[in-house]
Amino acid sequence: MAEDPRDWEVETRAVRGGMARTEYGEISEALFLTQSFAYDSAHAADARFAGDAPGFIYQRFGNPTTQIFEDRLALMEGAEMCRATASGMAAVQVALSGLLRAGDHLVAGRALFGSCRWIVSEWLPRFGVETTYVDATDLEAWQAAVRPNTRAFLVESPANPLLEVTAIGAVAEIAHAAGAKLVVDNVFATPVFQQPLALGCDIVVYSATKHIDGQGRVLGGAILGAAELMTEAYKDILRHTGPALSPFNSWVLLKGLETLDLRVRRQTENAGRVADLIADHRKVRRTIFCGRPDHPQAALIAKQMSGGGNVIAFDLGSREAAWKFLDGLQIVDISNNLGDAKSMATHPSTTTHRSMPEAERLQIGLTEGWVRMSVGLEGPGDLSRDVARALDGA
Ligand SMILES: Cc1ncc(COP(=O)(O)O)c(C=O)c1O
């Protein structure tokens, strides 16, 4: 009997999932750098446009290389369907627009990446969608925010940058009882450590720019969920508004998926070591890392995540000390990206979360002393030495 890829271990799905070979039998996935496709006859074109015959039409609607990426990520996530987008922000934007109409209401966790926050606070209101922000760790707050016109919930878990974790299953139940869909941004956990669909959410979004590429090359994004909902909510938006992922980027991201599991596990090991060093340092007021038992939601993390991820947040007490730490690094880069093979650290309140009003930053506890660090694949000895030296000088 033929193997069912859905029964494969995740490592096998990451390497072989979605594979569709041409007649040449290539080992590495073919890169179809083509915008459009030719039909054997006018009748064949008609049938394809009518949806009566399978096949590709135009790169904005789909591409064979992109489809391998979509099928592979869907298999890894345990989703019926994945649609790739040009960036993580395109994924968040489409994920919300497909679920909401003028007059609808969104409930969102208040700790959100700056650009996600802009979409929710500035963009959606232009189209008549109102939002209530909640403390995402407080289930009663989610419940209290529900209105008769609530159609969607949005949360990052763990959230950027202070790694707050949300009880995805419980929030999904509140959303469903209200007739709303739950969208989870799973960037920080990665498909390696958390499967939000299995926990009960409806839609998962990724910035594939982060760990899925993981080598600093391309932007990309993905939206995943059940086929019926994905088709109903997103098919037409994706086709007509044009946030398609380029086939070249799809190919790069496919190669990224092959090593995602290995990279993320090693990065997480390195991060555990660096987090312990940071937490023990006299200049550090507080350290948050999902892999440490002193994370305020360690019990919830143990229930819904199978690993802590590679991001650490720590408070050095002032902007001056945080900047001195960053300027003292010799190996780790100062950069706002995350998930990369190269370790990088940033000062969220002046970079990634700069557009968030100060009062809202303070509400989530993001004072100017916080540094966010994404731990990479360098040797753990070199990383520890670099971080310890920069902390000494902070
Ligand atoms: C949690 C989260 N979601 C979405 C994004 C946006 O992704 P992209 O930069 O690929 O548009 C980012 C980072 O940029 C992020 O950290």
**14 has a pLDDT exceeding 90:** yes
Look up tokens 């990309």; give the residue.
Answer: 220
Neighbours of 241 (CB within 10 A): 13
Residue 239 has pLDDT above 90, yes or no: yes
Q: pLDDT at position 356, please? A: 85
Block residue for tokens 């594979």: 19
pLDDT in tens, 80-102: 999 999 999 999 999 999 999 99
Establish whether residue 175 lines the binding site of ligand 1, counting it when its CB lies within 6 angstroms of any ligand atom.
no
Q: What is the atom index within ligand 1 of the atom nearest the CA of 92?
A: 4
DSSP assignments along 277-337, one per residue:
HHHH-TT-SEEEETTSTTSTTHHHHHHH-SS--SEEEEE-SSHHHHHHHHHH-SSSEE-S-
For residue range 210-236, what is the model confidence (pLDDT) as tens digits?
A: 999 999 999 999 999 999 999 999 999
* Residue closest to 37 by CA, chosen among 74, 16, 7, 63: 63
Per cent of the chain over pLDDT 70 is: 100
Specify the 3-state DSSP secondary structure of 146.
Answer: coil
Q: Is the CB of 87 under 6 A from ligand 1?
A: yes
Question: For residue 27, which amino acid is it?
Answer: I
Calculate helix-pair angle for 380-392, 247-280, nearest 10 degrees.
Answer: 60
- Position in ligand 1 atom list of the atom nearest CA 89: 11
Using a 6 Å cutoff on CB, does residue 307 contact ligand 1? no
Give me the pLDDT at residue 7, please. Answer: 94
The rounded distance, in Å, linking the Cα atoms of 323 and 69 is 39
Distance 113 CA to ligand 1 centre (A): 7
pLDDT, position 355: 83
Residue 156 Cβ inside 6 Å of ligand 1? The answer reads yes
pTM above 0.95, yes or no: yes
The pLDDT of residue 56: 97
Dist CA 329 CA 390 (whole Å): 5
pLDDT tens digit sequence for 46-82: 999 999 999 999 999 999 999 999 999 999 999 999 9
d(CA 320, CA 369): 8
Checking if the pLDDT of 242 tops 90, the result is yes
- Read off the pLDDT of residues 304-357 as tens digits, 9 standing for 90 and up: 999 999 999 999 999 999 999 999 999 999 999 999 999 999 999 999 999 888
Protein residue closest via CA to atom 15 of ligand 1: 113
Q: How far is the CA of 324 from the centre of ligand 1 (A)?
A: 26
CB-hemisphere CA count at 13 Å for 141? 13
Task: Report how far ligand 1's centroid is from the alpha carbon of 355 (Å).
Answer: 14
pLDDT band, residue 105 (cuts 50/70/90): very high
Closest to 96 measured CA to CA, from 129, 136, 71, 126:
129
